[in-house]
Structures are given as C-alpha cells and as structure tokens.
Structure 1
Amino acid sequence: MKSQITSALSDFFFEYETQRQVLVRNRRVGVVCRIIQLGVLAYIIGWVFIYEKGYQSADTAVSSVFTKMKGVGYTETNGVEEIWDVADYVFPSQVRTQCVRSACRSSTPSSKGDASFVVMTNYIITQNQTRGKCPELPGKHNCTKDSECEEGRYKRTGNGHMTGVCVPETKTCEVIAWCPVENDHTIPDPPLLMSAENYTLFIKNSVTFPLFGVTRSNLVEGIDGKYISKCLYHPDTDPLCPIMKLGDIVKFSGFDFTTIARVGGAIGIVVDWTCNLDVAVKHCKPVYAFHGLYGNPDEKDKVRASVGYNFRYAKHYMEDRIAKRTLYKVFGIRLDIIVQSLARKFDIIPTLTAIGSGVGIFGVATVVCDLVLLHLLPKRKYYKDMKYKYSKTQQQVSFKRVRFERH
C-alpha cells in the first residue's frame, strides 16, 4: 500500500503529460488552418490592440465648466431705445457647474458661468399688465353667447379663468388674468436682437483623470492672457481658442442665424478630451464640436408640432400702489456645453488579458480543421484511425483469448 502511494505521488510530481499530435499533409486543410489563424491574428493586432487599445487602461474625467458671455445689444421699438447687456439677455443667472464623470450639478452662484443657458435673440413685450378682467384674444376662446363661457373654467391655451361673460366687441370669453392679455400671434421678423450674432462666449474647462492623477485645462500651453485677448475660435486657424462668437457657433452647428434667432433653438457644444497618456501629457488637448439639437434647419416649419425655443418671464413693480408687471416672451438660443472624456494609458494587466484571450481564439482553427478532416474529407476514416488510438476493454481481451484457445 505504501509503495502504491509513493508511486502515485512520484508520478504526480515528476511526470509531465503532453498531447499526441498527428501531422497531416493535406493542402486544403492546411490552407483553411492558415487562413483562420491569419484572420485571428489580424483581429488581435488590428482590432484588439490598434483600434480598441487593448493594452491600455481607460478612465473618464471629473470635469468643471465655467462660461462667460460678453456683448451689448441695442433695440428701438415704438420709439423706445433699450440697451441689453449680459445681465438682461442671459438666462438663468449663471453659476459655475461641476460635472462628476458625466453628471453635472450647479454650485453656489459665482461669476457669470454655466454649462447650460439661454441667450435671448428675440422677444415679445406686454407692458403695464394689472390683475383684472379682460377679453381673451381672438382664437383663444371664441364665443357668441355667455353660455359658451363656463364660469370658473380654465382653457389650457387660454390666459386665465373665465367669468361666464362673452364680450360682444371681441366675441371672446372674458377672463380673470393679467390684463391686457399677451398677444404673441406675430413674432418680430427680423429678430430684435440680431446684434447677438457678435456676442462672445468664453469657455473655461478643467478635467481630472483620477486613475492616472492627471489634471488638464482647456487653457493649454500657449493659451495665455495675451493670446486670449485677441483670439477668436476657428477650427482651422485657432482650434484651441476658448473664445467663440455666437454667430460662428450657430454657423458651425449647421443653422442659419436669422432663422434660429427669430424663433429660438438649441445647440450643443461638445468639449472632447480623448487623450493617450503614453505620450507627453502636453498632447492631451480639447477638441470642440458643434451640433444643432433642435430644430433642424432643413425641416419645414409647417410640418413640425413645435417650433423653436421660448419661455416667459416678468418684471414686477408698483405704480400708484397698484401691482403691475411687464411680461416678456423670450425667444433664444439654448447652449448646452457637454464634456466628453476618455484617457488611456499602458497597463500590463489588460495587455496580458488581451494576449491570453487571443491565444485562446487560435484554438478555433484547430476545431474547424478537425471538423473538415474527420467528417468532410473522403479519407476521414483513415485520419480518424491516425488521430485516435482505441483501447480494448477487459471483456474484449478475454473474448479474444477464449477464441484463440478453442482454435
């Protein structure tokens, strides 16, 4: 018993088992095998290592965006001159925005800056509104008699609660609302703030890749105060300038400024940080891209359910102890600054993992060639006999021995 255990342990520790291989000289099988192996090799080198960078670890950034608009607008309507600065035409009051990976949150108010805001380009103004009773606009809720104006009812497209009275002069229902009610049927054309085309946007963005301990800013090497004071972004001549003219942003996104300024719209500014940290970190620089989010300038207005971008706000004041307000319906360009990031750097772990998986895929060639060799070729029985060695059971050996002794 002791000798058997010793022998088993000796065999386990000091013997090595290897598979028996059969060398088959067959052109068709050989060509199939090499084609599959070359395909697997091309996949590993071309796709896994070169395209997918399988030898590198990847990380996304913690990002912070700070923006500042500059420019002054001038309008003259009904003989009234007005000056519009950044405090008047940018909504909401801008705050610094922090983006953790791809999630953004607003922090406490600081200098003018946000990652999503609206620049007013056109507006409809309704002045001297007071709380009271007045008729609806034609088309909002038409009527011919009082019974058609149910008291206390509110129509979704209306401006207030109906009093139950039909006003003969306008043939519309009387409502309790801010009077006179807003008339937004006619949108100013051309837009009142066409000067917005010359406003400038300054973007300050910093990113940190925690996995690699790398921090970068879009004010990269060479972007100093002297350069910023005179540069203006252009994808060919000044691709790293962080100051952009609003008219250029609209043009690069594929919109026509007059069209989008009249009814409003939305544009996405993408700051792309795709960095290879295997080279010097100074080569990690942002790339700006501009995308029209809505509406499509090639789409006809009549086929769309909702056109442009607008909202309302009011300025309240007291006059002769009466509460009044001036209502603005604002049409503007919504700018969404989106930070995309992906940094890569060499790492031995993903490299070995990619190589190991590639070596495993090479086994596909063996499986396919065995199928062809043992099941499809005319000499498959011969190849089976060469590949497999069949052992005889004890019953078969005893049967042959009995037959031999009888003879």
Structure 2
Amino acid sequence: MPTTHVPQCHIPTYDTPRIVLIRSRKVGLINRAVQLAILAYVIGWVFLWEKGYQETDSVVSSVTTKVKGVTVTNTSTLGTRIWDVADYVIPPQEKNAVFIMTNMIFTLNQSQGHCPELPDDNTECNNNSSCVPGYVSTHSNGIQTGACIPYNSSIKTCEVFAWCPVEDDNHIPKPAFLQAAENFTILVKNNIWYPKFNFSKRNILPTFSSTYLKNCIYDAQTDPFCPIFRLGKIVEAAGQNFQEMAVEGGVMGLQINWDCNLDRAASHCVPRYSFRRLDNKDSANTVSPGYNFRFAKYYKESSGIETRTLIKAYGIRLDIIVFGKAGKFDVIPTMINIGSGLALFGVATVLCDIVVLYCMKKRYYYREKKYKYVEDYELVSTSEGRMEAQLFPPLILKQDVQSPYHTQTLYRSCEEGLSSLERLIFTSKLLREALKTILCFLGNHS
C-alpha cells in the first residue's frame, strides 16, 4: 500500500542561539569598532558627562528682594521731588519678582463728576443726538450722559460721568521720568533645599563678610557670586539698552542656576547667574509693547470731597527664576546604567550579523553555517535498523579513495558515528542511574 507524505506543521517551533566563530578581518574590525563606540558612549556620556552613577533631585527655592536707591526730579507738573524706594517699588513685595517704576503719566486732582470724554472716532460729536445716555465701551473713561459738550475750543465730545479730568495717555514722556533708576541696586536673597539629600544653602555664601556685602556689586568677572545687582547692569547683560527700555517698560529675567555635585564638598555648590529679556522687545511687532499698569493715591479735602492722583506706571519687572539639579552617588542608578550599557553590546552582534548574512559576498555560505534545522526527536523513527544506520553509517570507498573528497567523507562519517555512539552510551548511563534511584526509593518505603 503506497504511503502518503503528510506535511508537518512548523508553527510550534523554538529558536535557540548558535555560536559561530567567523574568522573574517572585516567583520572582526566592524565588531570591535562598534563595541568601542558603545564603550565610549557608556563611559564618556552616561557616566562622566551625565553622571549616570548619581541619584538626582530638583531644587526647592524661596526668594526675597530688597531695592535701594534715591533720585530727584524737577518738572513743571510736580516741581522738585525726591523719589525713594517707597515711591517707585510697587507693590512693596511680590512672589519671586520686583517691579521698579521708571516712567509715569500723572493725572492730578481727579474727582467724580461730569466732564468731556477724550476725543476719538467714537466720542466726537456735533450735537446731543450723537451721544447715547448710559453707553460705555471697553476703552471709555466713564458712562455717557447723552450731552455733547466742548472738549476744547475746536472739538466737542460726549459728556461722561467719571473721575474728572479723564486721563490722557497718548503721549508717553521721553526720556524716561526716572532716568537715574539704572543705578538702583537690588539685593536678591535666595534659599535652596534638596529634600532627597537634606541639603540646603543660600546665595549669600558663608565666606562673605558684612563689609563685603555692603560694598560689592555683581560683576561676571570680578564678583560673580555677589547677590547685589545694579539694575542697569542687569539690562545690559541681557543685551538691551536701559534708557530705551525705561520709557515703555519691560520684563527681565534673573536666572539662578543651582547645579550641584554633592559628591564634592558643599563649598563647590554655588549659584550661577544669567540674565535675559522675557517680553517682546520689538515695539513695531506688538500691539501693547513694554510693561505698565495703573494705581491711584486717594485724598479727602476739607470740604469732604474725595480726590485722587492717578498714575500710569511704566517700569521694569524683574522675575527671579531659580532652577537646578543636585546629584549624589547611589548604587541603584549605577547598576541600572551598567546593565543597560552591557545590554547595548548586543547591538554589535546584531550589526555584524546583518553584515555577514546580507551584505558580504559569501553570505549564503555563512547562512548555512549560522542556521541549523533540527526535527522533533519524537518524530524520528526509533527502529533498531535506523538507529544502527545512524550510529554506524556505511563507509563506501571507491577505487580513488586517496582523493581528498572521499578522505573527508570518511572522516566525517567516522566522527558522526562516534558522536552518536557516545550519546547512546551517555543515555544508557542516565537510564541506569535513574533505575537505581527508583529501586532505592521503593526499597526505603517497602
């Protein structure tokens, strides 16, 4: 009866690595080059540059400021006036920031009443019909009463109920009102803490004396750790012109960097200062350039009428930005990075396999050596005749047995036969030892 070949299902297969030693100078050089590159990356970048052997923590910070400086102005509106910290620092304290007024528009002696609105396309009028009682827009200074009254000898505007006279901020003083503000000084007190390492420090270093602190001014070259900054120097260090910035105001950033290596002495953990402008400096490309806000000072006259002085303040807002990271040796990140580095060495093997199996001229020869297909042992016939044939393959010698090819065939057949015989002997020994163990176990429990 003819036998039918039934195809076997190859889905449940198992792959195991096979070590093949390839004596190729080209592949060997590629392998060593990739391994050296990985070793340089792990040692140079991961451990030396990024300090992968350290545990890290982010900084927790608090900041306080103190401004000092006095100047004097002489104008037709205010006369001769002295300006100190209480006049130009508004508000007195902010969170991680300070505002210093450099320019202003005053509207003196305002009181609530009826007065003409500032002239523009929406407020100019010829008669009362152009004004709507109760109307108020986003840019109005008050609520329209419905009357059209003279603003000056040539222009009429709608009357409003507001703080009168209304503010006119169309003309910003140039140069800035407080030009001398560039000489004002700012003391920045910064305390930092790394909770993971219980390490704290402040920017007023232990080596500072009271005499030094009273006289020093920050300079990147001569006094890089002095915590007292001249306002003009801060603006100049950011590449800006102070007198130009003082007219419409702006926002500056004082950055304090606390990057500390706590494996070294605490004296090496020091602040690094840098400066930059945070707002858009190009007034031609922004609708609302600079930085300003309004505040008022209120009074009450002897007649009981409440009055105020409205001030539109332009100035420099200084934001103190503190950031940093501390690192200290720890076993866990060290072992993780070492393990990751060792795992990367597998890239060299993968790359060399790609070169050998797909790029080299002898790739088909190497594929035969690299991959070996083994059938399931249970599917192999165990008949005595087949086993004998596998253990002792026939050695067929022709007349030209002295030829190299048949000599190699003879050696290969002998080696395969001896190897199979050794496996059979080893298997029989294992079975004999297993049988002894079973008999001893049964004897002990009988």
| Structure 1 letter corresponding to 2:128 | D
Equivalent AA in structure 1 for residue 129 of structure 2: S
Counterpart-to-counterpart distance in 2, 1:259 and 1:225: 35
Does 2:365 align with 1:382? yes
| Larger Rg belongs to | 2
Following TM superposition, by how much is the alpha carbon of 1:20 offset from its aligned partner in structure 2, in angstroms? 4.8
* Structure 1 residue aligned with 2:144: 162
What is the alpha-carbon distance in structure 2 between the residues aligned to residue 326 and residue 292 of structure 1? 31
Deviation string, structure 1 residues 340-365 (Cα, Å, up to 9, x no partner): 12111111111110110111111111
Deviating beyond 4 angstroms after TM superposition, the runs of 4 or more aligned structure 1 residues are: 393-402
Name the one with the larger strand percent: 1
**What is the rounded CA distance, in whole Å, between the counterparts of 1:196 and 1:375 in structure 2?**
73
Give unmatched runs, 5+ long, in structure 1. Answer: 1-17, 98-114
Superposition pairs of residues 361-372 of structure 1, within 5 angstroms: 361-372=344-355
Distance (whole Å) between structure 1 residues aligned to residue 75 and residue 360 of structure 2? 90
Aligned: 1:44 with 2:29: no
Q: Which runs of 5+ in 2 are unaligned?
A: 1-15, 390-446
Match of 2:263 among 278, 282, 288: 278
Counterparts of 1:85-234 in structure 2, within 5 Å, are 85-94=84-93, 97=95, 115-139=96-120, 141-169=123-151, 170-234=155-219
Show the counterpart of 1:311: 293
Deviation track 1:110-144 (CA, whole Å, cap 9, x = no partner) reads: xxxxx212101111111111101111112262223
Q: What's the offset of the Cα at 1:325?
A: 0.7
Cross-structure match for 2:396: none
Give 2:314's aligned residue: 331
| Structure 2 residue aligned with 1:255 | 240
Contact 1:265 1:333 in 2 (8 A): yes
SS in 2 for 1:165: strand
Give identity over the alignment, percent. 49
On the 8 A contact 1:149/1:165 being kept in 2, the answer is yes
1:13-51 residue CA offsets vs partner (Å, 9 max, x unmatched): xxxxx9652210122322222222222222212221122
Q: Number of matched residues?
A: 365
**TM-score normalised per structure 2:** 0.77
Deviations 1:148-199 (A, max 9, x none): 3222111111211111222245322211110000111111111111121111
* Aligned-residue CA RMSD (Å): 2.1
Q: Distance in 2 between matches of 1:305 and 1:131?
A: 31
* Partner amino acid, structure 2, of 1:384: R
User: What letter corresponds to residue 153 of structure 1 in structure 2?
Assistant: Y
List aligned pairs for 1:236-251, cutoff 5 A.
236-251=221-236
3-state secondary structure, aligned to 1:44? helix
Match of 1:10 in 2: none
1:277–1:345 Cα contact (<8 Å) kept: yes
Kept in 1, the 8 Å contact 2:147–2:159? The answer is yes
Deviation at 1:397, TM superposition (A): 4.6
SS in 2 for 1:331: strand
Partners of 1:141 and 1:158 within 8 A in 2:
no
TM-score between both structures, scaled by the size of structure 1: 0.84
